[in-house]
Amino acid sequence: FVVRTVDQSMALANISNTMTFSLTTNFDMPDESTVTLSGLSGLATASNTSLPIEYVSGPSVYGTSGVWGAAGSLLLTVCCGLNTSSGVVLSFVVVNGPNTVESRDVRVSFSVGGGYDVSVSDEVVALAAFTDFGLNLTSLGQIVPTFVQKSIAQSS
């Protein structure tokens, strides 16, 4: 992949989070090739054999859904005879887990279908900073909101 980036819409625990990936290959992968996005640990989304994906831009080269693994991976399968080298930006919704996740080591790997014995594993995906709510997270993490100062006062 010559372009591989990820961004998230929400870094707070226990809230829906749209993950957005930009993926561009330097060749056209044939149908039945697979792409795995991994390292998305700490999420509360259960395993799902048909997690909906949406396209922000580019052709629908991976169809309309992927296979989500509860450990934090999404398996996509190239379909439809479309050009994978033109680049695609796709998104999917997950639910952040209940705990703080300092950062995630997000990776992409792929296997070329069509009878070719070619696989590439664990390319690091570039992370975008999350800057909402006064936060500046430079890693793809999540936080549990809490009060920084806690006090109780009583008047007489």
Q: pLDDT, tens digit, for every residue of 112-128?
A: 887 777 777 756 565 54
The pLDDT value recorded for residue 150 is 56
Q: What is the pLDDT of residues 48-65, one digit of tens each?
A: 999 999 999 999 999 999
- CA–CA separation, 121 and 134 (whole Å): 36
The pair of three-digit structure tokens given for residue 58, joined into one six-digit string:
């580019």
Global pTM value? 0.79
Residues 79 and 60: their CA atoms lie apart, in Å, by 8
Mean of per-residue pLDDT scores for the chain: 81
pLDDT above 90 covers a percentage of the chain that reads: 40
In whole angstroms, give the CA distance from residue 145 to residue 12.
7
